[in-house]
Amino acid sequence: MILITGGAGFIGANFVLDWLAQNDEPVVNLDKLTYAGNPETLASLEGDGRHVFVQGDIGDSKLVDRLLAEHKPRAVVNFAAESHVDRSIHGPEDFVETNVLGTFRLLESVRGHWSALPADQKAAFRFLHVSTDEVYGSLSATDPAFTEENKYEPNSPYSASKAASDHLVRAWHHTYGLPVVTTNCSNNYGPFHFPEKLIPLMIVNALAGKALPVYGDGMQVRDWLYVKDHCSAIRRVLEGGRLGETYNVGGWNEKPNIEIVNTVCALLDELRPRADGKSYREQISYVTDRPGHDRRYAIDARKLERELGWKPAETFDTGIRKTVEWYLANGEWVANVQSGAYREWVEKQYDAELAAAGKAGA
């Protein structure tokens, strides 16, 4: 039995689905179901006794203590977080609450559980903390990619809160001996990605005939990894990662944002051409830049390859095609997540500006 937190979100749900497709070890899935958590993503597991879903907060110590005592997991994988940089800029408190305080409380619950285990189970136990490359800050065009030796220089409220959580995890290992490993991954993309993030937002807006908002000059660089490859890396680190170590995870796919948007448009032009015969590129609209926008991220994933033999299975070309095809085939999933809190927030952020620029509903 393993305990997954945040397993109704984008990466966590992909992880749970892949895990149970590959082996029969049961999963307890603790997720608060914030706007980003979607039980519909896990619909294929309904009635599957290997998956126990619990709605709750990683910061609810009583609940987490009970789950640990009841299910006695051999490992905890912590995906739960507030994950969207733009939201962190406009409302940082939830990020401190979940990513910092929540991780602290989770660590304390796990420490209590782990301390009381018999020696053999104590030695085998793992706490894997899922983090981000954004903790390393921003690179210039000529800097080498981030290694695990890079200094932490987080720039956004999101990355600062993730950096704080990474430091807590590190300290719980050094001070209390908790058997932890941390992964720092680059930008993921793939099925079930919430359409507030760049790639799914561009696909969904393009199909809806709306503007494709590109921040600033669109030349910011991100390093893209297909989500299933991130999941395989986490499984590898869970089984073989050295205690107290951090492992960078990335796909060697550095691309400027505008190239990503153009690629999405070209795939849609091929797979679902616009009725008027024009390219979806017509919908691209440059908008005000994100405050404090990091210019470039790039991951050096050689440690993970050298120590644990991990390599991504997808190239960007294969992964992005699969992703666009998935969104074309899953319009209902998209429609369902576009209601409620998410919609209100997006409207507030972009629609006023785009309407003013005469681009809304382009």
- Annotated catalytic residues are 133-134, 158
Q: What type of residue is 159? A: S
Is position 83 an interface residue for ligand DAU (rule: CB under 6 A)?
Answer: yes
314 binds, among ligand NAD, ligand DAU, none (CB under 5 to 8 A by kind): none
| List 214, 238, 268, 284, residue binding ligand DAU (CB under 6 A) | 214
Least distance CB 112 / ligand NAD (angstroms): 18
By CB under 6 A, is residue 38 in contact with ligand DAU? no
Strand partners, 115: none
Nearest CA to 328 out of 280, 256, 276 is that of 280
Select the residue interacting with ligand NAD from 2, 11, 100, 221 (CB under 6 A): 11
Q: From the list ligand DAU, ligand NAD, none, which binds 168 (C-beta under 5 to 8 Å, kind-based)? A: none
DSSP 227-283: HHHHHHHHHHHHHHPPTT-EEEE--S-EEEHHHHHHHHHHHHHHHS--TTS--GGGG
Residue 109: name its binding partner from ligand NAD, ligand DAU, none (Cβ under 5 to 8 Å by kind).
Answer: none
Smallest distance, ligand NAD to C-beta of residue 105, A: 9
Q: How far is residue 289's CA from residue 266's CA, in Å, rounded to a whole number?
A: 24
Q: Binds 257, which of ligand NAD, ligand DAU, none (CB < 5 to 8 A, cut-off by type)?
A: ligand DAU
Angstrom distance (rounded) from CA 84 to CA 1: 30
CA distance 61 to 76: 15
End-to-end CA distance of the chain: 50
How far apart, in whole angstroms, are the C-alpha atoms of residue 1 and residue 113? Answer: 14
Q: What is the residue type of 204?
A: V
The site for ligand NAD (CB under 6 A) is made up of 5-6, 8-12, 30-34, 36-37, 57-59, 79-83, 98, 102, 130, 132, 162, 185, 187-188, 194
Q: Which residues bind ligand DAU (CB under 6 A)?
A: 83-85, 132-134, 186-187, 197-198, 201, 213-215, 220, 222, 257, 290, 297
